[in-house]
Amino acid sequence: MKTTCASQKASDFGTGISPGKVIDAFGVGKVVASANPKFEKDDYVVGLISWGEYSVSHGFFLNKLDPMGFPLSYHVGLLGFSGLTAYAGFFEICKPKKGEKVFVSAASGSVGNLVGQYAKLFGCYVVGCAGTADKVKILKEKLQFDEVFNYKEESDLNFTLQRYFPEGIDIYFDNVGGEMLEAAVSNMNLHGRVALCGIISEYTNAEKRATPDLLNVIYKRITIKGFLSGDYMSLFPEFVTKTVDYLHSGQIHVLEDISIGLESVPSAFVGIFRGDNVGKRIVQVSHDTITMKFKDLSAQYFPEGIDIYFDNVGGEMLEAAISNMNLHGRVALCGIISEYNNAEKRATPDLLNFIYKRITIKGFLSGDYMSLFPEFVTKTVDYLHSGQIHVLEDISIGLESVLSAFVGIFRGDNVGKRIVQVSHG
């Protein structure tokens, strides 16, 4: 889907797309029927599948998936090809040394954010660039990059990199190409290494083709190497083992940008070229990924179990929470919105958990506790005045909006309290 070039003849991964043909992608699916002895119905699989709600495969480049207690989406991005690309590119292509200075372009993308995290964990000084203030903030505050700049606010990239790397760049992980590559090469140190992973600025604009100063490459003995993660499948076990360890210890963070529904594929794809995504752009075409996340609450979010669960949902979420409760856990049953208009979603929690863990589940209505109203108001007002509590409201205007506002609650459209304002008083 890039402009035509010789690379489309060099690798199956670079083959051009013909209109009307099925588009393949790396993803996770669930087997609904199989004539292949390697796979059984309801197996999760990961590998090459097509853009669609259903995919027909002969089993080529497809393997059974053990989710290992993680959401299925992790196996599309972090524990899939995006993660392997970052790991192999940084450790095998760049061959880092502790304390080296690393620059990552498109640092909030699916690969770039992971390169920066691996580099920080390895002991390098890391600077990233991104295209919005929000992305810069995420990279600095959440992923702990040493420095981050918004390239759209910089008029001279060469000067910018001199400012952030006064002693030069040892490693540049390139996802952009174009002027950014030129500026990075100009600021590389002796024996600098460039991992050429992507050139997103050039895919749809041949006029932005990079023209780095090759005298710098010669005199500084710089290595620029293009690569595909598929060349490094032998590293996959090592990559997965280390990355899972980082996940369990909370040392690596997952950035995902998930669109819902097959109809969102075109906008999700085009958005990558506009820089809309933060982290791995994923399209979820079924609800199984959510179900897996429910079942794996303990491994991912509550490794030491849940003491209190305040339930507004019912269904699978209640079942998963009960499975992960601690001894003497308490459940406040406030609502079951997933079950209100779908009896098939009725929760069937494991009652043995109730017995052996001595769990208490209690339904209630706020009207039973009117005696608490003065105490509740006093404390809440104090929290409001001190800025310790924040208000989320979702206000629709006009009586005619009542129906859509009400129905929207069942779709999950609202953020905070859904209110309809019928006058301007």
- Give Rg (Cα) of the chain: 25
100 in the same domain as 35: no
Tell me the mean pLDDT in the region 327-341: 87
152 in the same domain as 95: yes
What are the φ and ψ backbone dihedral angles of 184, each rounded to 5 degrees? Answer: -65, -45
Kindly report the pTM of this predicted structure: 0.68
Q: What is the pLDDT of residue 7?
A: 52
* Residues 218-268 pLDDT 10s: 999 999 999 898 899 999 999 999 999 999 888 999 999 888 888 888 888
What CATH number should be reported for the domain holding residue 359? 3.40.50.720
Checking if the pLDDT of 9 tops 70, the result is no
Pairwise CA distance, residues 119 & 185, whole Å: 19
Most confident of 5-19, 179-193, 390-404: 179-193
343 in the same domain as 394: no
Query: Per the domain annotation, does 130 fall within a domain?
Result: yes
Query: Per the domain annotation, does 89 fall within a domain?
Result: yes
* Residues 305-329 pLDDT 10s: 899 999 998 888 888 888 888 889 9
238 in the same domain as 183: yes
CA atoms within 13 A on the CB side of 367: 0
Tell me the mean pLDDT in the region 119-127: 98
What CATH number should be reported for the domain holding residue 34? 3.90.180.10
Number of domains in the chain: 4
Contact present, 224 and 217 (Cβ < 8 Å):
yes
Query: Per the domain annotation, does 294 fall within a domain?
Result: no
* Residues 375-386 pLDDT 10s: 999 999 999 999
Query: Per the domain annotation, does 295 fall within a domain?
Result: no
Q: Which two tokens stand for residue 59?
A: 């089993």
Mean pLDDT, the chain, as a whole number?
A: 87
221 or 393, which is more confident = 221
Query: Per the domain annotation, does 277 fall within a domain?
Result: no
Q: What is the pLDDT of residue 423?
A: 81
* Among 104, 100, 121, CA closest to 191: 100
Query: Of the residues 65, 99, 117, which one is the last residue of a structural domain?
Result: 65
Query: Per the domain annotation, does 6 fall within a domain?
Result: yes
Pairwise CA distance, residues 144 & 400, whole Å: 48
* Residues 276-315 pLDDT 10s: 888 898 888 876 644 445 555 555 678 888 999 999 988 8
Checking if the pLDDT of 126 tops 50, the result is yes
Q: What is the pLDDT of residue 377?
A: 96
| Amino acid letter, residue 139 | L
119 in the same domain as 30: no
In 48-105, which ranges are continuous DSSP H helix?
81-88
Query: Per the domain annotation, does 138 fall within a domain?
Result: yes
Q: What is the pLDDT of residue 272?
A: 84
Q: Which domain holds residue 414?
A: 373-421
Pairwise CA distance, residues 59 & 39, whole Å: 9
Checking if the pLDDT of 1 tops 70, the result is no
* Residues 144-191 pLDDT 10s: 999 999 999 999 999 999 999 999 999 999 998 889 999 999 999 999
134 in the same domain as 25: no
State the DSSP string of 256-273: EEEEESGGGHHHHHHHHH
149 in the same domain as 92: yes
Checking if the pLDDT of 425 tops 80, the result is no
201 or 215, which is more confident = 215
What is the percent of the chain with per-residue pLDDT over 70, rounded to a whole number? 91
Query: Per the domain annotation, does 204 fall within a domain?
Result: yes
126 in the same domain as 20: no
152 in the same domain as 244: yes
109 in the same domain as 10: no
217 in the same domain as 162: yes
Q: What is the pLDDT of residue 293?
A: 52
50 in the same domain as 111: no
Q: Which two tokens stand for residue 73?
A: 């989406």
* Among 323, 338, 256, 268, CA closest to 76: 256
